[in-house]
Each structure stands twice: as structure tokens, then as C-alpha cells.
Structure 1
Amino acid sequence: MIELKNLSKTFLKDGNRIEVLRGLNLKIARGESLAIVGVSGAGKSTLIHILGTLDHPTDGALYINDLNIFEWDEKTMARFRNATIGFVFQFNNLLPEFDALENIMMPALISGMSAKQASFRATELLEELGLGHRIKHKPGELSGGEQQRVAIARALIMEPEILLADEPTGNLDTDTGKKIEDVLINLNVTRKITLVVVTHNKLLAERMSRIIGLRDGKIYNYE
């Protein structure tokens, strides 16, 4: 499903070459749930951005469904990303002037889906995530957990095969974070979505089917 082959990422800062990721090799099976853990600055967010084709590696390759993604031009890559990958971040980035339904519909409308179909899908997702009663509420009228569920619904509107979550509970209290964990794990189990989570939350990581660690830009076996 997803494979990294000798993937590296280097940045230049003040004339210095900084190796953030170093020769990574990794396979993630279809429908697997994977946690990526490590200290701040280990390269976790850089890795998940590359997995989501939001950033390019310096060397190496990313294969999704046996397709060498970074051989494509940006337009083709963007179409693939929109159809195949959903994103959930620590900060939900909901548009404050739009209600929950409109926020969820946005990616679908941008991708050319009709307003009728996008509204139908978004409404279904809100109901599935227990927010049917909040459909017309704007982000400022929602709790932190409700906002994050709206963000998850937005990530699912295009029915992606892969869901990438970067610290999805990092901005939430313990009880609310647990509810978001439950939502993500349920989606992985019921929809067979491949779930990759970057987290400092040990309890969340241990609920995934596999954990890998990043240290000094390299993968290590997490114990």
C-alpha cells in the first residue's frame, strides 16, 4: 500500500546542511494503523508531510499502490492527494465564517463535486460522528472535541484510502482526546482506512496495530 525506499530529507539552514530524515525504508500495509513516535525535532512531522505528498524528499522514493508518486508533476500529484489522502492536524484550521456542514463540504466542492452530493456526504459524516445536531454551528460555537470531529469529517469527505493524523489529540484535554482516539480507531476498523498517526500520546500510540520510532532521522523499533 505505502512504501518508502531509501528516503531522505535535507534542509539548508544558515548555510548548513541538516539531515532530517536519513535513508528510511518502511512498508505500511493497506488497512494498517501505525503510530510514529519520537522526541520533538526527530522528523515525525516532516515524514508525515512527505507521506501526504505535501513535501518532497531530497532522495529516495514514495510508492502508494505501487505508484512512484514523486515522479508525477504537481497537478497530477494534487489530484491524487485530494482523492486518496485525508489529513487531520493538531489545530483543526476550520474556517470560522462557515458552519460545520460548509467546512466539511469545502474540499469536495474544490474538487468539483456538486453541492448536492457534497452536502449529502457531509451530512452523513456529521451524523456518523455524532454531530448531526451541530450541522449549522460555526467553529466558535463548538467545543474543542467537536471541532476536531468536524476536521475528521472534512478529511473523510473524499472517501480517502489513507488518513494521516499529526498530533490529533495534542490540543485536547484527556477525556476529549480519548473520544477522538476512539473515532480514529473506529474509522480504521470499520472503513479499513490506512491510519498513520504522529503522536506524543503513549496511550494513543499503543492502540495502533504497530508503532515505529524516529530518532536522529532514522527509524528504530519501539519497545
Structure 2
Amino acid sequence: MRQTPAGGADGGTATADGQLVSIGTVLTLLRDEFPEVTVSKIRFLEAEGLVEPQRTPSGYRKFSQEDVERLGCVLRLQRDHYLPLRVIREYLDALARGEQLPLPAPGQPRDLLDGAAELDAEGPTAVQVGREELLGATGVTERELDEWESYGLIEPNSGGGYDVEAVTVAKLVADLGRFGLEPRHLRAMKAAAVREAGLVEQVVAPLRRHRNPQTRAHAEATARELAALSVRLHAALVAAALRA
């Protein structure tokens, strides 16, 4: 079990008497400082290698005092320093090995969750590209782009430009087209994406209305985490359906 480094944590939360506790108890211990934390969030951090709880023979997670303190440290570094999970993991693991490292430079609020690591885009989501840039980056024709826009697969913003996600969408639509899938076939995917986005918005809306500025800032990270999980679930469901 990795020890929880104190660096950058600004304090910590411990379990009573050093007992191993359930994930529900961990949630209760963390909620006072991190009201937005959820069981799904803790499981996500485990999946990302930020914490390694023990398992009972029945498969239930059991967390030690060090696990809870490490989780508190991770959440604090996300909230206060806007660090991606990858950076936090490397930083805490180095400290656990006894290496003395300075706290990594703060990131931007959009980096609160490395979950975008799964969605993808290294660059800021605020970047815009023009129509010619989009065509050049994807290799599609004006006619194809017009058709995709008519089906709502790609939408320009009010200024006529496109978000970086539009480049990714255009490339994927083009790749699917090589297998004979036309824009009309992809409308169901677009509709499903809109519904999923609506579900994410229902979850993060209360965070955005929170009085605490840090909680409001964390809403974007939560949305990105939920989006990443949604993408993974969609991929798993498609794989399961194909096997069936």
C-alpha cells in the first residue's frame, strides 16, 4: 500500500482509529470538505491508479487511513491547483518514493480532470478553426461538409467558425463513410449524444449554482468526467451488443 504524501495536501482526512472502512464511509469522511464527491468519483480515481484500496474475499473495497488521506490530497490538488490526474499521480507517487519535489505549476480550470485524456484533445477547447482550416485538416470536400451540417453532425458557431471537437467529428464521420455509413445513418448517434449531454447537465447544474466558487469551477471537471464515463459505457455497450 502506498503511503500518503503530505506535500500539497494542506491537511488530511483520516479514518477513525486507523480502521479499514467501506467506500460509503470514505464518502462521508470526504463530503464535508468536498461536497461534490461521489462514489463514482472515488471509483474513477481508483481506476486511474490514484488509490489502491484493499478488497475483501467478496470483492468489497476497504480503505485505510492512508487511502482516505491520499484521496483528500488528490481532490485538493484538483480543486486548488487545477492539476490533471496524470500529473497528480506522478507527483504523489514520487513523494511516496521519498523524492522531494516542488508542487507542479497550477493548470487551468479546464484541466481539473484528465478525463479529457479519454475524450481527447490536447489543446484548449476554446480554440476555433475556420471553414478552410476544417476542410484542410480533415480532407473532406465542401459538399460533404454541407451535407454533414444539414444533418446536424457538425455545427458552426455564431461567428461561422468551428470548435476543435468539430475536427474530430469530421474525421470520424469521414472514416465511417468509408464503410458505407452515410450521414443519415449517423443521426441516431447524434441524438443519443444530445440526450447523454442532457443527463450530464442535470448532474452538474447544481454544482454550477453552488455558492462556493471552487465548487462552481469544479462543475466543468465533473462534466468532463461524466462525459468520459459515458463514452466508455457506450463503447462497452456496443461491444456487448456485437458479441450478442
Alignment TM-score, normalising by the size of structure 1: 0.27
Higher RCO (Cα < 8 Å, 6 or more apart): 1
TM-score by length of 2: 0.25
Instruction: From the two aligned structures, give the one with the greater helix fraction.
Output: 2
